[in-house]
Structure 1
């Protein structure tokens, strides 16, 4: 095994998870319970399985969702991991499958496989500060970790959320962000790229919020999710702020088909994003991070 492969394998070993369910190839049947608009173009679906699973998911994992007759796509879980009776997914329609999923109404049948992939490293964060940095829809995969952090609030130091959105209308989970901020158990900073009338918050890219984070860099674990260019710039800003590369974790996105590491569609050199990720420690994959999807 090459050094690059060993590094990738080690990175996966720290946070990787195994698929749940009796048969990871076979979609389980679920029904849409509710559909809610959570930003200008993002919809959140609540799903209940016909035969509920006994195990919960870990923040950062994803399911493969099936719109019957159209196709299947990977969608991150965005709900509370403690709520085992329901599955929450937040979707932005960009293609035929995600569009069909986002348009599903209560009562509609949906297929799902999973959960798959690695989770955010909550155990590594115990006793220190946690800095969560999200861009756009990247808040959805990080929302479960915020639930988990708040549920075990006494185990962590300062918890800070830095969130950047294109505009006020694109801010995801607006009511919850306000609630998190008011509870004073978490420090919240929100910025938008383009302000509108009535917006009195910060304007600028999310990296401009990094200096505002009240954390001790050497005892901080940073969790980052968003568009790839945003994550690249955020890693640079966090490192300049004093946070070591080995304390920065990010969630990578690639086109996935099987979610089991067999088809190779999401391969990046020695790494299969569906199997070894999607959450990676940055210092272990920094050489792969510049490779664009083919």
Structure 2
């Protein structure tokens, strides 16, 4: 973050890009000031504003973990003018970066517990940063389970890592898609149904879920039916974040500002938000 003015982005450079899905592209960036890059710190779940010069800026989760700081990674879905423009950028192009912003996953409170990651589509991006952080500190956590789904196998993000994680002996990976195709060997169906089928247990566990709103809704209901308390369920919100520092009011929900008080919330905190949410 610019120490003099939080609205001014730091100059960064794209060092690598690659496609995750037909509409999601991953960018690896570094700050142009090497000293600032070495000093940059963040926590899993925090976000940053990326600026496409001449177009604007928008908020994206930092989906690389703070334990691996050769670069900062962002995965971006092409949905609007700015993200369309962002998808045209290539290695060597400049970009602006403001961050880190917001709160983070409460990973210190999760130590010693079993963690269930439940994701859909690009919701795997915020889960990725926390999962890699926990794998890099594996002894601090109990059983790790990932339930992840997409529309088709082609729409699953981080495919190489999914294969790597599935081959590890210290975590469980369950993948599911809505429309499998001929060569799919995983599960078929929506994520909340797989969650119910597996019957994950709430004892000494925390569930972290990110994905499309409809998936989140039924996942939260499913976790409650399985016996998870509100304090054991963690999710993230994406709500019109603009300034990133709680001043413009664009992302407010009652007295809360998603860019400052979020984007990470427990189910208990969500239930305390106004009915407008």
TM-score (norm 1): 0.89
Q: 1:289 to 1:92 in 2, by over 3 A?
A: farther
Q: After the TM superposition, which residues 240-251 of structure 1 pair with which residues of structure 2 at under 5 Å, given as runs?
A: 240-251=225-236
Distance 1:123 1:211 in 2: 27
Distance 2:274 2:88 in 1: 33
Contact 1:160 1:213 in 2 (8 A): no
Query: Gaps (5+ residues) in structure 2?
Result: none
Distance 1:115 1:261 in 2: 14
Residue among 27, 34, 37 paired with 1:45: 27
1:203 aligns with 2:188: yes
- Look up the match of 1:25: 7
- After superposition, the CA RMSD in angstroms is 1.5
Greater relative contact order (Cα < 8 A, sep 6+): 1
| Number of residue-to-residue matches in the alignment | 273
Q: 1:162 to 1:87 in 2, by over 3 A?
A: same
- Deviation per residue, 1:132-179 (Å, 9 max, x gap): 111110001110101111111111111001101111110110110010
Contact 1:133 1:225 in 2 (8 A): yes
Contact 1:245 1:283 in 2 (8 A): yes
Q: Secondary structure at the match of 1:218?
A: coil
Distance 1:289 1:175 in 2: 41
Q: Secondary structure at the match of 1:56?
A: coil
Q: After the TM superposition, which residues 217-256 of structure 1 pair with which residues of structure 2 at under 5 Å, given as runs?
A: 217-256=202-241
- Look up the match of 2:17: 35
Distance 1:240 1:124 in 2: 23
- Look up the match of 2:104: 119
Contact 1:210 1:241 in 2 (8 A): no
Q: Secondary structure at the match of 2:44?
A: coil
TM-score (norm 2): 0.94
- Look up the match of 1:185: 170
Distance 1:148 1:121 in 2: 12
Residue among 154, 157, 174 paired with 1:169: 154
1:106 aligns with 2:83: no
- Look up the match of 2:140: 155
Distance 1:239 1:60 in 2: 23
